[in-house]
Structure 1
Amino acid sequence: MEQEFSKFCENIKLTSQQKEDAKAKYKGVCKKLHDTYYDKDYDDSTKYLFGSYKTKTNVRPLTEEQDVDVLFKIPQETFDKFDEYESNGQSALLQEVRNVLKEKYTTTDKINGWGKVVLVQFEKGKHNVEVLPALEQKDGTFLIPNSEDGGSWDTFDPRNQVNEFQTSNGTTNKLTAELGRMLKTWVKNTPSLKKKYKSYQLINDIITFLKIEFEDGASYEDYHEVVKNFFDWLKRNCVESIKSYVETAYNRAIKAIEFMDANKPKEASEEWIKIFGNEFPKVKENPKNKTENRTIITPSSPWCKLN
């Protein structure tokens, strides 16, 4: 399955065009906010990328649930203004950011502000942008608005998350990101699992697992073992609400490997497709068994010609 896993990993990576689209989208959002809240030219310093775009674990095909996560650093005076509200200044901040963005994106389908974020939704097949207005602290953490339950400011530390990921990805020779993309595809292919197993938890689990096994990375010829062993580890360490999904995936991985060992790549690929969906290549037929060479001797005639 070495070639199939290699092709699978290529199939789910973002294309260059998709990467450029994501970059254009989040830069447009952040520049509009920067020009509204600052008097200096935009130079990227007032935004901080995090999440799957930062860690390069986005996968294709894109869905409406995928977005670029970005913090926009608000000035101290903007924070102070909304912090002085008697009731839910956090919600008011989100709505102000929403209204600013609506000035630029007049034809965009939706711009919503709720909870902790403002979501800018673009047309189907394009990246959405989820922006968090945030006040940067001296220790590198951020205060972000939480408009729920009357409003509050929450401490958020995306830098620590990003640093942990990058350390793991460097140690494992990029296996952390590769496994992240593969397993995000598994979650996407398991619709009822999506809301129960969030991307950040999946990535945290991958980092923990790779501290125990495959610490130095793995080659494509070992990816079937990496995936199978992750499911084995996860079913012993996950919350009860996702355990049945993990056990199903583990059992399918075991079955796929049994087919691989029996030289039945067609059936093996069918099991991997059950886990990952149609982005995993299907093997059309099994190799033909080699037959032993046999020497055929023409028997002599049972009679002889009479003279």
Structure 2
Amino acid sequence: MSINTIFSDFCNSIKMIEDEKWQSRVAEITKKINKKYYDSDDDHNHRLFVGSVGRRTATNKVSDYDILYILPWEVYHRFNNHSGNGQSDLLQEVKECIKERYPRTEIRADGQVIDVTFNNGYGLIEVVPGFENDNGSFQYADTNDGGKWRTTNPRPEKQKCTVDNDATYGTFRDCTRMIRVWKNHRGFVFSGLLIDTLIDKFYENNSDILENNSYSSYPFILKKIFEFLSEQNEDQQYWHALGSNQQISNHGSNRFIREARKVVDKLDGVDFDNESEVLKCFSEIFGYQFRQFVNDSVTRTTEDFATTYFSGIDIKGSFDIECVVSQNGFRDHSIGYYLSSKLGTIFKNKHLLFKVTNLDLPINIDQNNLKYYWKVRNFGVEAERKGQLRGHIHVGGKTKRESTKYKSMSHYVECYVVDNDVVIARNKIIVPIGEYEDAR
């Protein structure tokens, strides 16, 4: 198929689809809150979808709905006059209101939101009680440090996304979603609002391509976007959000800049007149969600892919994979010891211990509820001959033991940290295996 067709299919496949179950749950929560604070059975007023869902830049793998519920100002004054942490008391009251409707659902009120977590991979609804100011912004509660009120202004952000999308004939939202697919495939933190803001800035700085919106032009546009991202300042602490001009920071140590540089290096070596070369490169950049449209055989493989195995991917943190290589009669070494050697490989009949280390997640995530999944992917003639072209995903723990059997420089082991069937962190390590069985 052509570049135009493949990018069209890909972009349409990653658009967020309104789920009836989500809509029903949101309506039920809205109805419950309206009954308590407005004495109304209305199930759609006094709420505002915010975040990526509200800006309509979320992908089909969105794991949570952010909703701001607009409460009467008399409620604000009631809790603002509390002698203690009135902000915490407000969240607890709204939490108990929702709990009456969903008594068996896990509901937590902490920080700035009320998390309503549904099982079976349906993620969560994040409820933010707020109070609308005369200028259209909102006051909302922050329970940290004894409690305080903060201000947010999501409407101009939503409006700016719509303006940008109209100006680019739909390309703006396509690009914001593709960048989300990229960061989730690579497994690093990149705030959704920062993604939307930087794509907005990109179009401000590249107005000459505003009307260059055919799917066949997407490889060229994406190359320019990755160049733009790679040129951001790694020391920058915050950016000003599109539309609202609010300060936003990225909690991933600005890794997106380094990752974008890797993509630029890949694309610099691509002949953009060679269609198969272009598609191969973007298959590596976006992973299975793109590659399935390029290669039909990928959809027929027995290999498991995170994007289809789990209900969602929303990278919120990071970790490292440590690998210790051992063999009876020899000293243990890290895999790096072997890879830095002249041969740059490890050999057969070694034992490998993989371990998750340096796990870094937001403080509101309960690590006791996390699950760890592993994928071992084998390649090469030897593995194929023995029927060992592995690629299934299995649940495990923080460690995994394997051994080296089949020669290939492309074997890898990948780990997924999963919260309620949503991947929130992922990493992989390449395990090149050489020929010699008795080498140290």
State the TM-score, normalizing by the size of structure 2: 0.58
Give the secondary structure class of the aligned counterpart of 1:13: coil
Distance 1:217 1:21 in 2: 37
Match of 2:77 among 80, 89, 106: 80
CA contact (8 A) 1:252 1:272 kept: no
Unaligned runs of 5+ in 2: 236-253, 297-440
Q: Which of 179, 185, 195 does residue 202 from structure 1 map onto?
A: 195
Structure (1/2) with the larger strand percentage: 2
1:150 equivalenced with 2:150 (yes/no): no
Structure number having the greater helix percentage: 1
Q: Which amino acid aligns with 2:129?
A: P
Which structure has the greater CA radius of gyration?
1
Q: Is the 8 A contact 2:27 2:43 kept in 1?
A: no
Using the TM superposition, give the Cα deviation of residue 45 of structure 1 relative to its aligned residue in structure 2, in angstroms. Answer: 2.7
Q: What CA distance in whole angstroms lies between the structure 2 residues aligned with 1:274 and 1:238?
A: 25
- 2:273 is the counterpart of 1:261: yes
Alignment of 1:29-40 (within 5 A): 29-40=29-40
Letter in 1 for 2:15: K
Counterparts of 1:224 and 1:238, CA distance in 2: 24
Q: Specify the code of the residue in structure 2 equivalent to 1:97.
A: V
1:211 partner SS: helix
Match of 1:219 among 214, 225, 234: 214
* Alignment: residue pair count: 272
Question: Structure 1 residues 243-252 or 170-179, which shifts more?
Answer: 243-252
Q: Does 1:134 align with 2:130?
A: yes
**In the alignment, which residue of structure 1 is the partner of 2:172?**
176
User: Deviation digits for residues 87-123 of structure 1, max 9, x if unmatched?
Assistant: 2110111111112111111232x21111111111112
Matches within 5 A, 1:9-48: 9-15=11-17, 18-42=18-42, 44-48=44-48
SS at match of 1:123: coil
Alignment check: 8 A CA contact 2:30 2:45 kept: no
Letter in 2 for 1:70: I
Q: Which has the higher contact order (CA 8 A, sep 6+)?
A: 1
The match for 1:159 is 155
TM-superposition CA deviations, 1:271-295 (whole Å, max 9, x none): 212211200035349xxxxxxxxxx
Instruction: Give me the whole-angstrom Cα distance separating, in 2, the residues matched to 1:219 and 1:25.
Output: 37
CA drift of 1:14 comes to 2.9
Q: CA RMSD in A?
A: 2.0
**C-alpha distance in 1, partners of 2:50/2:140?**
14
1:186 aligns with 2:179: no
Find the counterpart in structure 2 of residue 56 from structure 1: 56
Equivalent position of 1:247 in the other structure: 261
Structure 1 segments (4+ residues) deviating >6 Å:
none
Structure 1 residue corresponding to 2:104, chosen from 104, 107, 118: 107
Distance 2:194 2:112 in 1: 19
The one-letter code of the counterpart of 1:24 is S
Gaps of 5+ in 1: 286-307
Distance 1:7 1:113, change over 3 A: same
What is the percent sequence identity of the aligned residues?
28
Asked if 1:123 corresponds to 2:122, the answer is no
TM-score, normalised to structure 1's length? 0.82
